[in-house]
Structure 1
Amino acid sequence: MSGNIVAIGLEGIVVAETDLSLVDGQNGLLVYRNHWARDLAINHTFEEVAHLLWYGHLPSEQELAELKAALTANRELPSHVKTAIDAIPADVDMMSVLRTGVSLCGSAGHGWPPSLEQVISLTAKMPTIVAYRKARLDGREPVSPRSDLGHTANYLYMLKGEEPSAAHVRALDAYLILTQEHGLNASTFTARVIASTQSDLVSAITGAIGSLKGPLHGGAPSEVTEMIEAIGTKENAEPWIREKLEKGERLMGFGHRVYKTIDPRATALRVVAQSLSGDDPWFDLATHVEKVGMKLLAEYKPNRKLHTNVEFFAAAVMRAVGLDDELFTPSFAVSRVVGWSAHVLEQAKNNRIIRPQSNYTGVIPE
């Protein structure tokens, strides 16, 4: 019955201060700790950017070698995690499996406050959980992580059972960098809320995975793939898209709740994908669909600022490196755990329990 102003979805409400990232949707800017995210994606590796977010600076050669060694040393799954994954029915989705696997990675050492050692251990194990489950679903024996491969290359190796090409590693590395961190989005906020109660890191990351599982947050790339496959040919792009817009339906991969101009992550992925994918027919079709989609959105929705978002080119990259749709959101989680854990560490440094209020709309009993 209070007269407090309600901000539905907490939109526009500032609940934390952070030096991890700047997300400026009005101007299309994305900064990771004083660096343009697009430049990091084009010029650096997953491990280098993770170091930036966790430690506050890009690593020296020695620091990078130490981080790589720590990640490599923590890739193997405990036997009880493998046993639990093996017991999960085949029709259970991959994000639920990942959530379960992560929840079992906690131990007596995962208390409060969280540590970088815990963060590194969990980040190293998440790709192995996904790859182990994928191998079981495909009816093949899971391969062990390789110590001579970087984080992204090893992920692709475990998923496919064969060493990936340098081009595929570079393309996926760029995507994983661009999805490591993105401000106080739904899953990151979930992680910080859990951490604010002084719960453990594993609980915070498990909650974040549950939030990312929702299709409004982490499910768009697979829907972009479905759209492009439904279009099929360049000639069919305009009539197919026109029909969708005439019906008032949404075009997947266009528009973003935050970005009101070009998504800088999409810009960077476009550069990387175009330089590495060559004459890939599917990528050529995706590029054509983007151009037609932008033209028709300007025609049908002239007052809305709808641009291609990161999910559109993420779908192109995922398809190019051969990842199934079921792996899109789990791969998102494999990268976003870096940002989630960085926020958990930041929350722990100056913690205050997050406890918003609500307005009661019911009746006061007599």
Structure 2
Amino acid sequence: MSASRGLEGVIVAESSITSIIDDQLTYVGYSIDDLAEHASFEEVVYLLWYKRLPTEIELKKFQAELLENMELSDQIIEHLKLFDPSTANPMAVLRSTISLLGLYDPEVDDMSEEANFRKAIRLQAKIATVITTLARLRQNKELIAPDPNLSYAGNFLRMLKGPDVEALEVEAFNKALVLHADHELNASTFTARVCVATLSDLYSGVTAAIGALKGPLHGGANEQVVRMLMEIEEVDNAIPYVKNKIANKEKVMGMGHRVYRTGDPRAKHLKEMSRKLTEITGQSKWYDMSVKIEEYMKKEKGLPANVDFYSASAYHCMGIDHDLFTPIFAMSRTSGWVAHMLEQYDNNRLIRPRAEFVGEVQQEYKPVEQR
């Protein structure tokens, strides 16, 4: 038996949630292109959890349940007030707060299917409010309640920024949530499945997944992309900056993907949203800069942009704080994490791989005074 580094190419589970075949991404058999152009995030969440699209009545009920569960208790809000906004990493805050939500959920250890779906609703609803509450508190701004007339994407932006949100922003943000919702057995999703395979609860699974997503090689990529754009600052600086990165054998963030060989099918949708948003906000240089970098990397290294690359400039032009990019990723991906955890529960077997031992053998113990 030989080890496969990073489990590359190893099939560890059967799933009917997401497929990546010949660089084409589908959710439950629906093309990501079709969903990105036509579906609301709520429809996609329902699709991932129930393995089918909702009827109009089912969708309205689902949207209402999400809205009803967005409110945070006083205990959670007080908890969020304890963090020092100048030093607290929002992903660390999110990880701790999701864990705390489980502590206050009376159904946390009820493993029935009905209870798990109720907890799933609460998790998906409240994670949005946790992020917006943290953002508002650290800016000393009044908290904003969700509006029953708005979508999940619209409510998040309203609770984050206030009532003055452009329709194009909501459209772009909804697309981003749809595109980030699930992606087969990525690091955080695999972490969630490993966690609940022990028959731990959904809150533990999401907390574990957030811990995995926090790393810069997974969820932190779009935050690093926008940091790169800020360092470049002007379009004419883009190519010299990238050439210098390559010469120093440094990674250019947002380029290439572990799974896709010909290109990330999600990137083109966010590229178009980035173009539109930078144009209407008078910040086209971020889009122009990004296009230059992408074209150069494709030509010189054969690496096209991935989903993180254009989400960075899109979020920036919406006025979203850069350190909230990864928590937003977690908010969207919670839908996929939950889908995978529910699927794991349905046909569970403890996930327990083996390791190839490469250490010293046949060593003899010596008393401490002889070492």
Residue correspondence of structure 1 range 188-199 to structure 2 within 5 A: 188-199=189-200
TM-fit CA distance, 1:316: 1.8
Partner of 1:352, secondary structure, is coil
Partner of 1:315, secondary structure, is helix
Deviations 1:71-129 (A, max 9, x none): 00100012211121112233211111111111111223122245211101110000100
TM-fit CA distance, 1:360: 2.4
Q: Is the 8 A contact 2:146 2:159 kept in 1?
A: yes
Identity %: 39
Instruction: Supply the distance in 1 between the matched residues of 2:258 and 2:236 (Cα, whole angstroms).
Output: 30
Residue matched to 2:88: 92
Residue correspondence of structure 1 range 152-231 to structure 2 within 5 A: 152-231=153-232
Q: Is the 8 A contact 2:297 2:304 kept in 1?
A: no
Residue matched to 2:368: none
User: Could you tell which deviates more after superposition, 75-84 or 224-233?
Assistant: 224-233
User: Could you tell which deviates more after superposition, 305-314 or 330-339?
Assistant: 305-314
Q: What TM-score comes out, normalization by structure 2 length?
A: 0.91
Q: Is the 8 A contact 1:21 1:183 kept in 2?
A: yes
Q: Is the 8 A contact 1:113 1:198 kept in 2?
A: no
TM-fit CA distance, 1:350: 0.3
Residue matched to 1:364: 362
Residue matched to 1:339: 336
TM-fit CA distance, 1:292: 4.2
Tell whether 2:149 aligns with 1:148. yes
Deviations 1:11-58 (A, max 9, x none): 11111101100123xx32111111111221121111111111111111
Question: How well do the aligned residues superpose, as a CA RMSD in angstroms?
Answer: 1.7
Distance 1:278 1:293, change over 3 A: closer
Q: Is the 8 A contact 1:153 1:163 kept in 2?
A: no
Instruction: Supply the distance in 1 between the matched residues of 2:189 and 2:297 (Cα, whole angstroms).
Output: 34
User: Could you tell which deviates more after superposition, 324-333 or 54-63?
Assistant: 54-63
Tell whether 2:46 aligns with 1:51. yes
Instruction: Supply the distance in 2 between the matched residues of 1:103 and 1:289 (Cα, whole angstroms).
Output: 37
Aligned partner of 1:317: which letter? Answer: A
TM-fit CA distance, 1:294: 2.6
Deviations 1:156-190 (A, max 9, x none): 11111224111100001100110000000010001
User: Could you tell which deviates more after superposition, 269-278 or 318-327?
Assistant: 269-278
Q: State the number of aligned residues.
A: 357
Deviations 1:307-358 (A, max 9, x none): 1111111112111211111110000001000000000000000000100111
Partner of 2:25, secondary structure, is strand
2:3 pairs with one of 1, 6, 13: 6
Q: Is the 8 A contact 2:255 2:297 kept in 1?
A: no
TM-fit CA distance, 1:277: 4.9
The structure with higher relative contact order (CA 8 Å, sep 6+) is 1
Residue matched to 1:37: 32
Distance 1:194 1:283, change over 3 A: farther
Residue matched to 1:110: 108
Instruction: Supply the distance in 1 between the matched residues of 2:58 and 2:164 (Cα, whole angstroms).
Output: 26
Distance 1:211 1:62, change over 3 A: same
Instruction: Supply the distance in 2 between the matched residues of 1:87 and 1:238 (Cα, whole angstroms).
Output: 43
Q: Is the 8 A contact 1:283 1:320 kept in 2?
A: no
| Unaligned ranges ≥5, structure 2 | 365-371
